[in-house]
Structure 1
Amino acid sequence: MAQVRLDKLRKVYPNGHVGVADASFDIADGELLVLVGPSGCGKTTLLRMIAGLESISGGTLSIGDRVVNDVAPKDRDIAMVFQNYALYPHMTVAENLGFGLRLRGTPTSEVDRRVADAARMLELEQRLDSRPAALSGGQRQRVALGRALVRNPSVFLLDEPLSNLDAKLRLSMRVEIARIHRKLGATMVYVTHDQIEAMTLGQRIVVLNGGVIQQIDTPMNLYDKPANLFVAGFLGSPAMNLFRGTLRADGRLETPESTVALGELPPTSALANWLDKEVVVGVRPEDLQPSDHGSLSAQLEVIEPVGNEVFLNLRHGTTELVSRVAPRSLPLPGASMTFGFAPEKLHFFDAASGQRIG
Structure 2
Amino acid sequence: MATVRLDQLRKVYPNGHVGVAGASFDIADGELLVLVGPSGCGKTTLLRMIAGLETISDGTLAIDGRVVNDVAPKDRDIAMVFQNYALYPHMTVAENLGFGLKLRGHGQADIDGRVAAAAKTLELEDRLASRPGALSGGQRQRVALGRALVRDPKVFLLDEPLSNLDAKLRLSMRVEIARLHRQLKATMVYVTHDQIEAMTLGQRIVVLDGGVIQQIDTPMNLYDKPANLFVAGFVGSPAMNLLHGTLQRQDGWKLVTAQGDIALGEPPQASAWEPWRDRAVVLGVRPEDLQPQPSGAAAPALTAQLEVLEPVGNEVFLNLRHGSQPLVSRVAPQALPEPGNAVPLGLARERLHLFDAASGQRVVP
**Which residue of the partner structure matches residue 343 of structure 2?**
337
How many angstroms apart in 2 are the aligned matches of 1:253 and 1:137? 50
1:151-166 equivalence runs, <5 A: 151-166=151-166
Cα shift at 1:342: 2.1
Cα shift at 1:344: 1.1
Secondary structure of the 1:273 match is helix
Cα shift at 1:267: 4.6
Q: Counterpart amino acid of 1:154?
A: K
Cα shift at 1:107: 1.0
Cα shift at 1:146: 0.2
How many angstroms apart in 1 are the aligned matches of 2:77 and 2:135? 29
**Which residue of the partner structure matches residue 73 of structure 1?**
73
User: Structure 1 pair 216/94, CA: closer, same or farther in 2 (3 Å)?
Assistant: same
Q: Counterpart amino acid of 2:90?
A: H
Aligned length: 358
1:247 aligns with 2:247: yes
**Which residue of the partner structure matches residue 118 of structure 2?**
118
1:136-175 equivalence runs, <5 A: 136-175=136-175
Cα shift at 1:60: 0.1
1:352 aligns with 2:358: yes
How many angstroms apart in 2 are the aligned matches of 1:14 and 1:104? 34
Q: Counterpart amino acid of 1:205?
A: I
Q: Which deviates further from its counterpart, 265-274 or 115-124? A: 265-274
How many angstroms apart in 2 are the aligned matches of 1:257 and 1:37? 31
**Which residue of the partner structure matches residue 55 of structure 1?**
55
Q: Which deviates further from its counterpart, 344-353 or 244-253? A: 244-253
**Which residue of the partner structure matches residue 264 of structure 2?**
262
Cα shift at 1:52: 0.1
Secondary structure of the 1:262 match is strand
> Is the CA contact (8 Å cut-off) linking 2:269 and 2:350 kept in structure 1?
no
> Is the CA contact (8 Å cut-off) linking 2:259 and 2:325 kept in structure 1?
no
Secondary structure of the 1:54 match is coil
**Which residue of the partner structure matches residue 279 of structure 1?**
281
How many angstroms apart in 2 are the aligned matches of 1:310 and 1:110? 54
Cα shift at 1:270: 4.2
Secondary structure of the 2:319 match is strand
Percent identical pairs in the alignment equals: 79
How many angstroms apart in 2 are the aligned matches of 1:251 and 1:343? 11
How many angstroms apart in 1 are the aligned matches of 2:192 and 2:173? 14
How many angstroms apart in 2 are the aligned matches of 1:156 and 1:296? 49
How many angstroms apart in 1 are the aligned matches of 2:226 and 2:105? 49
Cα shift at 1:348: 0.1
Secondary structure of the 2:276 match is coil
Q: Counterpart amino acid of 2:142?
A: R
How many angstroms apart in 1 are the aligned matches of 2:123 and 2:311? 36
How many angstroms apart in 2 are the aligned matches of 1:267 and 1:207? 26
Q: Counterpart amino acid of 2:289?
A: D
**Which residue of the partner structure matches residue 204 of structure 2?**
204
How many angstroms apart in 2 are the aligned matches of 1:33 and 1:243? 32
Q: Deviations over 1:62-120 (max 9, x none)?
A: 00010000000000000000000100000000000000000000111110010000000
Q: Deviations over 1:150-178 (max 9, x none)?
A: 00000000000000000000000000000
How many angstroms apart in 2 are the aligned matches of 1:24 and 1:178? 25
How many angstroms apart in 1 are the aligned matches of 2:276 and 2:75? 53
Runs in 1 of length 4+ with deviation above 6 angstroms? none
Q: Counterpart amino acid of 2:152?
A: N
Secondary structure of the 1:181 match is helix
1:296 aligns with 2:302: yes
1:305-316 equivalence runs, <5 A: 305-316=311-322
User: Structure 1 pair 143/267, CA: closer, same or farther in 2 (3 Å)?
Assistant: closer
Cα shift at 1:265: 3.8
How many angstroms apart in 1 are the aligned matches of 2:305 and 2:333? 19
Cα shift at 1:30: 0.1
How many angstroms apart in 2 are the aligned matches of 1:256 and 1:337? 19
**Which residue of the partner structure matches residue 95 of structure 1?**
95
How many angstroms apart in 1 are the aligned matches of 2:266 and 2:172? 44
Alignment gaps of 5+ in structure 2: none
Q: TM-score, normalised by structure 1?
A: 0.99
Cα shift at 1:209: 0.2
How many angstroms apart in 2 are the aligned matches of 1:84 and 1:270? 49
Q: Counterpart amino acid of 1:301?
A: E
Q: Counterpart amino acid of 1:202?
A: G
1:220 aligns with 2:226: no
Alignment gaps of 5+ in structure 1: none
1:28 aligns with 2:31: no
Cα shift at 1:268: 5.6
Q: TM-score, normalised by structure 2?
A: 0.97
Q: Deviations over 1:177-204 (max 9, x none)?
A: 0000000000000000000000000000
Q: Counterpart amino acid of 1:129?
A: A
